[in-house]
């Protein structure tokens, strides 16, 4: 009996979907015919809306500005020869938290 019930439900869903699609197509076609009777160009359905664009990058926060300043200072110390490459990388990781 469960197989019979499942088959009946599936048939009802398919029939309902087919009816809905058929009615939509009929309405669109009727609208096009009505516009042609009045000598108008058929109106096309609007295209689906595009997904919203990604938000622009946020302005640096006070915390980020402080980190950038520390990195600039570390870069200057490296250029002056005060820090080695290894010390610079270690300090940079500490500033960036990684």
**Inter-residue contact 88 to 74 (CB < 8 Å):** yes
The pLDDT tens digits for 38-90 are 665 555 666 666 666 666 665 657 778 888 888 888 888 889 988 889 988 88
The C-alpha angle 65, 67, 69, rounded to 5 degrees, equals: 70
* Cα–Cα distance, 83 to 90 (Å, whole number): 10
This prediction has a pTM of 0.39
């Amino acid at each position: 009996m469960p197989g019979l019930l499942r088959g009946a439900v599936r048939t009802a869903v398919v029939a309902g979907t087919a009816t809905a699609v058929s009615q939509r197509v009929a309405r669109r076609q009727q609208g096009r015919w009505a516009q042609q009777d009045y000598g108008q160009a058929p109106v096309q359905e609007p295209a689906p809306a595009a997904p919203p664009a990604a938000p622009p990058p946020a302005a640096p926060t006070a915390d980020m500005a402080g980190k950038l300043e520390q990195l600039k200072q570390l870069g200057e110390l490296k250029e002056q020869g005060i820090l080695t490459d290894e010390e610079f990388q270690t300090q940079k990781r500490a500033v960036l938290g990684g």
